[in-house]
Amino acid sequence: MGIISIKTAIVIGCGALGLSAANMLSDAKFEVTAIDKDPSAFAGLDIGFGGQTVIADGSDIAALEAHGLADASLVFASTDADSTNYLIARIASDIFGVGRVFARIEDEDLASMLEEGTAQAICPHKLCVNELRQLAGIR
């Protein structure tokens, strides 16, 4: 009998980007826990969202731990605060050993600090500019 691998994801911050990520991960058959301190934030989840929602402060590490941080296979920190996302990413990767950790960070200096570890920064502004450059044929 083989071991069944369960893909689990935690998305912290359910603004537009976090909701899209939570929905995408749910569609990809991850067991998703979406965390936000504002209960109305979950209204944007798809009707077919198969995960759970948790009302909690994403910077509360005890709350994250209580909702599966140590067992997550993927964490996406997408709150509206770069410093919170950075902190969550470092704790998830460096302390809890989560293998795939991503943080929405606009501040490029802060994003570069994640390069020291295993967490990766996602900078929406930079991604959009790079996509525009590619679509416009600018090198």
Give me the pLDDT at residue 89, please. 96
Give me the pLDDT at residue 139, please. 82
Asked whether 57 and 37 are in contact (CB, 8 A), the reply is yes
Give me the pLDDT at residue 3, please. 58
For 8-135, which CATH class? alpha beta
Half-sphere exposure of 139 (CA within 13 A, CB side): 0
Give me the pLDDT at residue 115, please. 79
Asked whether 68 and 7 are in contact (CB, 8 A), the reply is no
Tell me the C-alpha distance between 99 and 113, whole Å: 18
- What DSSP character marks residue 127? H
Please, what are the averages of pLDDT over each run of 10 residues along the chain (139 residues)? 74 97 96 97 95 95 94 96 96 94 93 85 89 91
Give me the pLDDT at residue 111, please. 87
For the chain, state the CA radius of gyration: 15
Helices and strands (H and E) in the chain: how many? 5, 6
Nearest to 114 by CA among 94, 86, 91: 86
Residue 75's beta-bridge partner residues? 10, 101
Nearest to 68 by CA among 35, 38, 45, 107: 35
- What DSSP character marks residue 47? T
Q: Where are the domains of the chain?
A: 8-135
Read off the tokens for 91.
């704790």
